[in-house]
Structure 1
Amino acid sequence: MTDRLPRIPRSDALDNRERILEAARALFATEGLNVPLREVARRAGVGPATLYRHFPTKEILATEAFADQMRACHAVVDDGLADPDPWHGFCSVIEKICELHSRDRGFTAAFVSAFPKAVDFTADRDYALKAIAELAGRAKDTGKLRPDFVLDDLILMLMANNGIQAASAAAQVAASRRFAALAIQAFRAVPEPSPLPPVARLALVMPGLTR
């Protein structure tokens, strides 16, 4: 009696899976989560049936596509918690989280959305939010973070950050850095004006506003 060897996925199936993930990351980053899965399949060069065989739902696809971003998000909040100065750690988290999210619109949408079928992603998001809540509590104890700050303010900030439309990817990141600096000033318990990062060229300029 011989043991059955584990089934190893064929190389073409693995290639299809990677192409689908690559296409999903690119489309989610630029278009957000509203991209139809058929468009993801078209970009990946596979049929819809092949996509659904690997990823039965958009939630599962998003979970896999954003795995690297979630790991980076964990590293950011863990570094913030490890900072001996809670306020400095909190500010660092705000700056890095804004930049991380500015590089991928889809990640922000997934982060603030409820995906009941993406259990792993939900757990990761909850971990990040609980860690930030703990860090915010420590920062409040120093007297530097305003006492009425709540996690909803962080979600509001991420949603606003996600709305930035810049002329290029580099300008998008630059605009996000400036926005993060403005948000940090708003979160201070006592106003303490400091120089802002350079202004970035945005995709839309409202008439009458000066740069």
Structure 2
Amino acid sequence: MTPGSPHSDAPSAQPLRSDAERNRERIIAAARTVFARDGLNASMASVAREAGVGIATMFRRFPTKEELVDAVFCDRMQAYADAVTAAMDDPDPWKGFVGYIEAACAMQAADNGFADVLTMTFPTAKALERLRNEAYEGMLGLIDRAKATGRLREDFDPSDLVLIHMANAGVVNATSGAAPDAWRRVVALLIQSLEAPARGTLPAPPGHEPLYKAMLRAGQATTSTPTPGKNN
């Protein structure tokens, strides 16, 4: 029957829509669990198993892994952007800057998937990338304020924050099962190295464009999952 048909079987469309929405929410909940535990290298098949749905159902709801990442991590990226806003609101710019780094790294430590998300970029995950860009603009102001106090070393570059997230993600992924608090020591060591006066000069920063390409390549490698055929 066509949509809107007055015949008696028309109401059956509503339960189908409800089932589809339930499957979608089940998949998102399962992906939160799987990605938090295993990181973004976890397969779509493992998410489908956790959700108790077939792989074909998984790909009907989320045709690409990037779409699933967008749905799963938007709230966490919002919390990340909120951490930047909270840091900007701190009357002590250095304290706000340090608080932001600690908060962001703690978010990575709490979720292996989000540890990966902060080190990758996903161009088609529109909501996720919009929030990331919003947070980045706030971070630029945060860095300027911290430098103006004389507490943050002058040669600190915005790309250094991405490198900090990459370093922390590596520690989190390597130690979360055996030494779950190891990241705290690494972050403390990094923060102490950022405070002025600098103990020495740094090599040149990688720059925004090369670092973006590295994040893009990492995101593509993680989400390059083939879509099953119709008979799967």
Does the TM-score normalized on the shorter chain lie above 0.5? yes
1:10 aligned residue: 17
- What code does the residue aligned with 1:166 have? T
2:172 is the counterpart of 1:145: no
What is the correspondence of 1:152-167 to structure 2 with a 5 Å cutoff?
152-164=159-171, 165-166=174-175
Residue 77 (structure 1) shift: 0.7
Aligned with residue 73 of structure 2, among 66, 83, 88: 66
Pairing partner for 1:31 from 13, 31, 38: 38
Letter in 1 for 2:163: L
Distance in 1, matches of 2:175 and 2:186, equals 12
Whether 2:92 is the aligned partner of 1:90: answer: no
SS in 2 for 1:112: coil
How far is 1:132 from its partner?
1.1
Measured on the aligned residues, the alpha-carbon RMSD in Å equals: 2.1
Higher helix share: 2
Aligned-partner Cα distance in 2 for 1:111–1:162: 8
Taking the aligned partners of 1:138 and 1:124, their CA distance within structure 2 comes to: 21
Maintained 8 Å contact 1:185/1:191? no
Residue ranges of structure 2 left out of the alignment (5+ in a row): 5-12, 200-232
Rg larger in structure: 2
String of CA shifts for 1:123-179, please: whole Å, max 9, x gaps. Answer: 11111122112101110011000111112211111111112233648x52x322222
Between the aligned partners of 1:29 and 1:15, the Cα distance in structure 2 is 21
Q: Distance in 1 between matches of 2:195 and 2:123?
A: 35
Asked if the contact 2:30/2:51 (under 8 Å) is kept, the reply is yes
Matches within 5 A, 1:74-85: 74-85=81-92
Q: Which residues of structure 1 form unaligned runs of 5+? A: 193-211
What TM-score results when the alignment is normalised by the length of structure 1? 0.80
Q: Which has the higher contact order (CA 8 A, sep 6+)?
A: 2
* Contact 1:80 1:135 (C-alpha < 8 Å) held by counterparts: yes
Q: Matched residue pairs, number?
A: 185
